[in-house]
């Protein structure tokens, strides 16, 4: 409860003191990836016009929306806020006067099916596995037979939870523009929703 109260207090101060639109994202690696993508995709000027804040998960993003609703609207008259969820969460898009909930598009062709890492293409993930196999947990394709019905479960890949930060650091250092090509979606959302005609 105290942690929740502290978080809400910090976010309330940040919202009330904001002089730029704010993009709230789930995790620390999200911020690193977006900043790196901005450099590769020539979008650094867009990031300079907003504040980019990680909060620690989808429930914290929900809390921000609830806080926003409680704060006096007059204090928020020129501020805009985008809550950006990972592709694998169950959230409906929401649009109000100055606050939006959006989730990243799910890119079926990309091998990682969870988190912001779904934005990385297969070539990127294979390059990472060649560099350090421990980055990625792999479950091979397998077959199950239940009541004489045969099902083939496809191969699945996932960033190892203990390697998430290491994977991010390596990719931000060793990656290139092709690795970050799908991040354009984020900058399009920032431009459309947070900056409006200001971009």
Tokens 């989730």 belong to: 103
Q: What is the pTM of this model?
A: 0.87
- Tokens at residue 153, please? 């479960």
Asked if residue 126 has pLDDT above 50, the reply is yes
Q: Which residues of 128-163 are buried (b: 16+ CB within 10 A; e: fewer)?
A: beeeeeebbeeeeeeeeeeeeeeeeeeeebebeeeb
* Rounded-to-integer distance, Cα 180 and Cα 32, Å: 12
Helix 122-131 × helix 164-174 angle, to 10°: 110
- Across the range 171-194, mean pLDDT stands at 96
- Across the range 85-98, mean pLDDT stands at 89
Q: Which residues contact 188 (CB under 8 A, 6 or more apart)?
A: none
Q: Which residues contact 16 (CB under 8 A, 6 or more apart)?
A: 71, 75
User: Helix, strand, coil: what percent of the chain each, to 5?
Assistant: 50, 20, 30
Asked if residue 199 has pLDDT above 50, the reply is no
What's the confidence (pLDDT) of residue 56? 87
Looking at per-residue pLDDT, the higher value among 189 and 5 belongs to 189
Helix H segments across 44-100?
Answer: 44-47, 58-70
User: Residue 78: which pLDDT band, with cuts at 50, 70 and 90?
Assistant: low
Beta strand pairing call for 136-139 and 156-159: antiparallel
Least confident of 19-23, 94-98, 163-167, 171-175: 94-98
pLDDT, tens digit, 9 for 90 and up, residues 129-160: 999 999 999 998 788 898 899 988 888 999 99
């Amino acid at each position: 409860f105290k942690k929740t109260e502290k978080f809400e207090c910090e976010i309330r101060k940040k919202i009330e003191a904001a002089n730029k639109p704010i993009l709230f994202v789930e995790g620390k690696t999200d911020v690193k990836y977006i900043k790196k993508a901005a450099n590769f995709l020539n979008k650094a000027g867009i990031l300079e016009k907003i504040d980019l804040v990680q909060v620690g998960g989808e429930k914290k993003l929900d809390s921000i929306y609830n806080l926003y609703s409680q704060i006096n609207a007059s204090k928020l008259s020129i501020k805009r806020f985008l809550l950006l969820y990972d592709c694998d969460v169950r959230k409906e898009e929401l649009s109000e006067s100055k606050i939006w909930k959006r989730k990243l598009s799910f890119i079926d062709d990309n091998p990682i099916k969870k988190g912001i890492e779904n934005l990385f293409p297969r070539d990127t993930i294979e390059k990472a596995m060649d560099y350090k196999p421990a980055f990625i947990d792999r479950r091979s394709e397998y077959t199950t037979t239940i009541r004489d019905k045969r099902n083939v479960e496809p191969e699945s890949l996932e960033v190892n939870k203990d390697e998430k930060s290491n994977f991010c650091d390596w990719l931000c250092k060793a990656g290139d523009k092709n690795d970050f090509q799908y991040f354009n979606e984020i900058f399009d959302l920032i431009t459309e929703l947070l900056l409006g005609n200001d971009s």
